[in-house]
């Protein structure tokens, strides 16, 4: 059994950059990725902003070196997972037990929507290839095949906690000596289905989102992919490149309060963070930075903030929501933000909470407003809380 699980590689694509370096540069410029909708033909164009990856499907396919017939989710997943695997620089990967644990919530829905536009007009029309890979697991299988990962693969879909759950499930596979290396995280693309669904819930902000601001009015949907390469202690010792850190704590809880809302007292959020701290052997005072779930909705931020107040008060570490840059990438958010968490440790960074102005009346703390470098960051708590009360917290620590 591996006592420690290390992070050997990272990869990310989001609205603020097509790789790790571009994302970090956007953070330092304090430049958000939200724009008007450009890639989807929708009635919400010009009404709500989104955080799109700044490449169309043909451009993504060229970047991935793969077929443009693939779904956007698949292409995003492949780009970020490949970057993470290349970054890990594991020369003898074929001789190791390697897995791919990937999350998403929309699968190939972007292609399916295109199919039904034609099919509903004339049921002899529409390209069946557009619905062939509709289900979420197809993304995982396709990307694993391209990466040459054949030992183990699985898909996790638990709404907005999906890829955080993928990361800690991957860690458990390594800890229990079932695998040596796992590429873990997730991807999601923007679709009409998610845009219309969140609009129906009336939680989309018509302006750029303001997480943890007293005047917040909702979230901005985003898209992207983020993956970490987790390795066992044995494998880590064979690699010449320094590790980014280790996954020291993780926990999943479920408050079972409501299908789409968090419990007002933040029960699920509190239990997730408390359990992750217990797993890591750390105290609240040991956490140097919190990557907030921080969607910008009134309910979600209030619930998370109440849980943080209960667990960390009266001494609060710096915290911020990187969704103020990337938008809410749904099933990808836990993976994207896991990458940001380990980069914060490696580079001594605290990310800003853009557009924050007015403190929430019920909370005694405020998020960080500016990009900070040269910080001593040993332990980062990253929160990902999903529909149905599925709440997950990860803790990454310096090696």
The catalytic site residues sit at 160, 293, 328
Q: Which of 168, 186, 319 is nearest to 250 (CA)?
A: 168
- Residue 350: strand pairing partners: 372
| DSSP tally for the chain: helices H, then strands E | 12, 10
| Both tokens assigned to 391 | 């709440």
In DSSP notation, 326-358 reads H-B-GGGHHHHHHHHHHHHHHHT-B---TT--S
> What is the gyration radius of the CA atoms in the chain, in angstroms?
20
Buried b (16+ CB within 10 A) or exposed e, 341-378: bbbbbbeebbbbbbbbeeebeebebbbbeebbeeeebb
Pairing mode, strands 224-232 and 390-397: unpaired
Q: Say which residue the tokens 């638990």 belong to.
A: 158
Dihedral of the CA atoms 51, 55, 56, 61 (nearest 10)?
A: -130
Give the residue from 310, 295, 311 showing the smallest Cα distance to 395.
Answer: 311
Q: Is 137 exposed, middle or buried (0-12, 13-18, 19+ CB in 10 A)?
A: middle
CB 341 within 8 A of CB 226: no
End-to-end CA separation in angstroms for the chain: 18
Cis before 314 (ω within 30)? yes
What's the number of CA atoms in the CB half-sphere (13 Å) around residue 59? 6
Minimal CA–CA distance to 352: which of 360, 344, 361? 344
Question: In the chain, which ranges are continuous DSSP H helix?
Answer: 20-29, 57-64, 72-88, 109-119, 136-147, 162-175, 192-200, 233-236, 267-280, 298-312, 323-326, 333-347
Query: What does the block give as tokens for 216?
Result: 């917040």
């Amino acid at each position: 059994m591996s006592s420690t699980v290390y992070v050997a590689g990272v990869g990310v694509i989001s609205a603020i950059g097509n790789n790790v370096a571009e994302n970090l540069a956007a953070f330092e410029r304090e430049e958000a990725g939200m724009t008007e909708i450009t890639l989807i033909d929708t009635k919400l164009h010009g009404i709500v902003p989104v955080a799109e990856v700044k490449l169309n499907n043909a451009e993504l396919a060229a970047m991935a070196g793969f077929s443009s017939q693939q779904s956007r989710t698949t292409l995003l997943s492949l780009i970020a997972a490949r970057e993470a695997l290349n970054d890990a620089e594991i020369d003898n990967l074929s001789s190791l037990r390697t897995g791919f644990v990937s999350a998403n919530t929309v699968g190939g829905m972007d292609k399916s929507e295109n199919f039904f536009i034609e099919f509903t007009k004339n049921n002899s029309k529409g390209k069946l290839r557009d619905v062939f890979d509709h289900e979420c697991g197809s993304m995982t299988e396709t990307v694993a095949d391209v990466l040459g990962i054949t030992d183990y693969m699985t898909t996790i879909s638990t709404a907005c906690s999906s890829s955080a759950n993928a990361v800690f499930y991957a860690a458990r596979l390594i800890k229990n000596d079932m695998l040596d290396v796992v590429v873990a995280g997730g991807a999601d693309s923007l679709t009409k289905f998610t845009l219309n669904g969140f609009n129906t819930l009336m939680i989309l902000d018509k302006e750029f989102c303001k997480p943890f601001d007293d005047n917040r009015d909702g979230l901005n949907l985003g898209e992207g992919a983020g993956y970490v390469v987790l390795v066992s202690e044995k494998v880590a010792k064979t690699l010449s490149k320094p590790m980014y850190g280790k996954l020291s704590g993780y926990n999943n809880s479920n408050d079972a309060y409501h299908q789409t809302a968090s419990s007002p007292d933040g029960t699920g959020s509190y239990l997730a963070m408390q359990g992750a701290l217990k797993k890591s052997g750390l105290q609240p005072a040991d956490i140097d930075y919190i990557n907030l779930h921080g969607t910008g909705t009134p309910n979600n931020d209030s619930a998370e903030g109440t849980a943080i107040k209960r667990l960390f008060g009266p001494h609060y570490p710096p915290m911020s929501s990187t969704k103020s840059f990337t938008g809410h990438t749904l099933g990808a958010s836990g993976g994207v933000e896991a990458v940001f968490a380990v980069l914060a440790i490696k580079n001594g960074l605290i990310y800003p909470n853009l557009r924050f102005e007015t403190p929430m009346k019920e909370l005694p703390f405020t998020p960080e407003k500016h990009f900070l470098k040269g910080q001593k960051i040993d332990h980062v708590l990253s929160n990902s809380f999903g529909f149905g009360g599925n709440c997950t917290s990860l803790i990454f620590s310096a090696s």
